[in-house]
Structure 1
Amino acid sequence: MRFYKNCLYCNEALSGRTDKKFCDVQCKSAYQYQQSKLQPERFYNKVDNQLKLNRKILKEFNKGGKVTLRAELLMDQGFNPNFFTHYWKNHKGEVYLFVYEYGFLKIKENNKTKYLLILWQNYMEHKLHE
């Protein structure tokens, strides 16, 4: 007895093995991608996506290597300062948070919250391990 089934993705009739679910690897891949989009976002994906967004935002605003700007400018773009990859403490005791090579320090200037943006420098490396 032969069972006739259809591809789970494109609904085309299947031929071959009785346990076959897809007509080809493209349909299998497309189906798995479609199913993953229906799943709630996993914690890892949320963190990774926020880090990518933070890096993109910091890169966009810090074209010169060092810049100070209002916190709202970053926040309006979706920046979240709670997501960072590492930190660096300078000789004054200020702790810069980094998203890969882009660093930021929250400061108060004229009663306004701002961020000082910097780029990672080679001299910061030795301080990382202390």
Structure 2
Amino acid sequence: METTLENPSPPNRTCDYCGRPISGRLDRKFCDVNCKNNFNSRQRSAFRAGVHPNAGQIIKQIKINYEILLKRQVQKIEKDATTYINKEQLVKDGFDPRFFTSLTTDKWGEIWKCCFDCGFREIEDGNIELAHFPKQAEL
């Protein structure tokens, strides 16, 4: 008995995003670029949501805080020197002291919150003290 090898007909394949039939290469997963982009976008969103639902907003606020501190020229403050700013003014500019990248202590044992290398701490009179901690931005 002689058997012949025939090309099997391609399986009915559908788009991984929208379910429409697709043709072409056998390893093709999406019917068009839009479906591919939408699929990947949802995958990334699902991953971020698994990390923390507010991760994107928190990171955005940390960046805003850092930009505000940079405008106050915190990086130009000399070693062991500080400057002061009214907390209400910083908050009015969009600063939120709840969000920062690290904590550090100075040589007097005071605890500082840092947005990368820009340190801040709230003091009793409604002001915020600013200082520069370059090592806080190192890996």
In the superposition, the TM-score normalised over structure 1's length comes to 0.60
Question: What SS does structure 2 have at the residue aligned with 1:59?
Answer: helix
CA distance in 1, matches of 2:22, 2:93: 48
User: How many residues are aligned here?
Assistant: 116
Aligned to 1:70: 86
Q: Which runs of 4+ in 1 moved over 6 A?
A: none
Q: Which amino acid aligns with 1:87?
A: L
Q: Which residue is 1:54 aligned to?
A: 65
What do the CA deviations read for 1:10-64 (whole angstroms, capped 9, x no partner)?
Answer: xxx96536x853323x66225644894xx98823223322222211221122253
Alpha carbons of structure 1 residues 34 and 60: separation in structure 2 relative to 1, 3 Å: farther
Compute the displacement of 1:114 (Å).
0.9
1:101 equivalent to 2:117? Answer yes
Letter of the 1:59 counterpart = L
User: What is the 5 A alignment of 1:88-127?
Assistant: 88-109=104-125, 113-121=126-134
Unaligned runs of 5+ in 2: 1-11
Identity of counterpart residues, as a percentage? 24
Contact residue 71 and residue 115 of structure 1 kept, 8 A:
yes
The answer as to whether partners of 1:14 and 1:22 remain within 8 angstroms in 2 is yes
Secondary structure of the residue that 1:84 maps to in structure 2?
A: coil
Kindly indicate which of the two structures has a greater share of residues assigned to strand: 1
The Cα RMSD (Å) is: 3.8
Q: Which runs of 5+ in 1 are unaligned?
A: 125-130
Matches within 5 A, 1:18-33: 20-24=29-33, 28-29=36-37, 32-33=40-41
**Residues 1:47 and 1:91: Cα distance change in structure 2 (over 3 Å):** same
TM superposition shift of 1:71: 0.6
In our comparison, the structure showing a higher alpha carbon Rg is 2
